[in-house]
Amino acid sequence: MAGGAEQTSSEYIRHHLQHLTYGRLEDGTWGFAQTPEQIEQMGFWAVHVDSLAMAVFLGGIFFVIFRLAAQKASSEVPGRWQNFIEMVVEFVDENVKSTFSANNRLIAPLALTIFVWVFLMNLMDLVPIDFLPYTFQLLGVSHFKIVPTTDPNVTMGMAISVFILILYYSIKIKGFGGFFGELAFQPFPKALLPANLALEGVTLLTKPVSLGLRLFGNLYAGEIIFILIALLPWWIQFSLSVPWALFHILIIVLQAMIFMILTVIYLAQAHEHH
Amino acid sequence: MDGGLLYLAAAIMMGLGAVGAAIGVGVLGSKYLEGSGRQPELMPMLRTQMFIVVGLVDAVPMISVALGLYVMFAVAG
């Protein structure tokens, strides 16, 4: 436990679920919030600095790793690292090719970015729960959540970006009339236009919501269970946290893959003519 | 709020989520085995597809488990 022995278990959990939030404090100055009440009072204009910093940092890692591998790539016998990167790129490429038939140069790089970035953000869940927060606490930072995908703001932000791309390509490929027609004249005949609009509208809006909440929910569940395991005495923790971490490796990769594949499927639907 | 009701709510959340996921994964697994028994050469393709759907099915109970544990330990406790 990080914060001393006098903490109760629910205080410990709440401490671990609080973000490092930057916003306008009650007295009018700008600064970091210390208590949940202060975060509540900040309202809409509060920024989760820890999620943002970790997300940008991991995005940078992804960029540097892949850039270096691409520069060093040779047609000779490839090294281990190049092999690994090629495996990832080929995996994404195969998935995009099998689901996406239209011609769009953005989709495969987008899919690769989403897959690796989400995977790296999920991977932070496997770092021991108190390791980085405690280190930052010694440096004077009160709260630090290191898994950006356990922050609904991050996952919903990604989902909404995908949603905007869906709308953009739907209108670009099918025209405004075509997109509206798809929403209004299916699945019932044209006479039932309001019912069609309601049904298809819900279908359209569920896409970003389910996409974002699925990733958030899975990682949040994993995080909570790790926090609960960390409440046990130290000599018994490994008996639960090791199996859960092993199982969680599957979830981490699976959720990154699902986010990527669903993005590609949704964008492929946006490119389809009827 | 009454603490006992919160525990009950968490129990119902986790239990019903587990029931739904168990049925879903059961059906999925049996169909996968049937399909790969009938056409073993399709196995790699079916396996990836199955894992995708397992992930989709698995997400909902996971979310309910997370919310249930949050209610139990952070709200009620």
A63-90 pLDDT, tens digit per residue, is 999 999 888 877 788 788 888 999 999 9
Which of B58, B64, B75 is the mutation pick for testing A, counting most A CBs within 10 A? B58
**Cβ-contact A42, A33 below 8 angstroms:** yes
Any catalytic annotation for residue A218? Answer: yes
Nearest to A159 by CA among A272, A267, A34: A267
Quote the minimal CA–CA distance from A216 to chain B in Å: 8
Catalytic residue among A103, A214, A239, A241: A214
B42 and A CB contact within 8 Å: no
Q: The whole model's pTM is what? A: 0.85
d(C-alpha A144, C-alpha A129), whole Å = 11
Residues A100/A150, Cβ–Cβ less than 8 Å = no
pLDDT value for A2:
45
CB atoms within 10 A of CB B20: 14
* Alpha-carbon span A38 to A31, nearest angstrom: 10
pLDDT for residue A3:
46
Of A102, A28, A36, the residue nearest A273 (C-alpha): A102
What value does the mean pLDDT take over residues B32-43? 92
- pLDDT tens-digit map of B5-28: 888 999 999 999 999 999 999 999
* B43: its two tokens: 């196995």
> Per the CB < 8 Å rule, is A224 touching B70?
yes
Q: Is B54 on the interface with A (CB under 8 A)?
A: yes
What does the domain layout of chain B look like in residue ranges? 3-76
CATH architecture, range B3-76: Up-down Bundle (1.20)
Q: Provide, as residue numbers in chain B, all residues whose Cβ is less than 8 Å from the Cβ of A225.
A: 65, 69
Eight-class DSSP state of B41: G
Q: Under a CB-based contact definition with an 8 Å cutoff, are residues A171 and A54 in contact? A: no
Annotation says A210 is catalytic = yes
pLDDT at B41 over 80: yes
Spatial strand order in the sheet of A46-48: A30-32, A21-24, A46-48
pLDDT band at A1 (very low <50, low <70, confident <90, very high): very low
The count of CB pairs under 8 A between chains A and B is 59
Residue B60 to residue A210: CA distance in whole angstroms:
10
Residue A223 · residue A147 · CB < 8 Å: yes
Distances (CA, A) of A62 to A79, A83, A112, B48: 19, 16, 10, 25
* One-letter amino acid for residue A225 of the chain: I
User: What is the tens place of the pLDDT at every residue in A113-136?
Assistant: 999 999 999 999 888 888 888 888
Among B52, B63, B77, beta carbon nearest to A10: B77
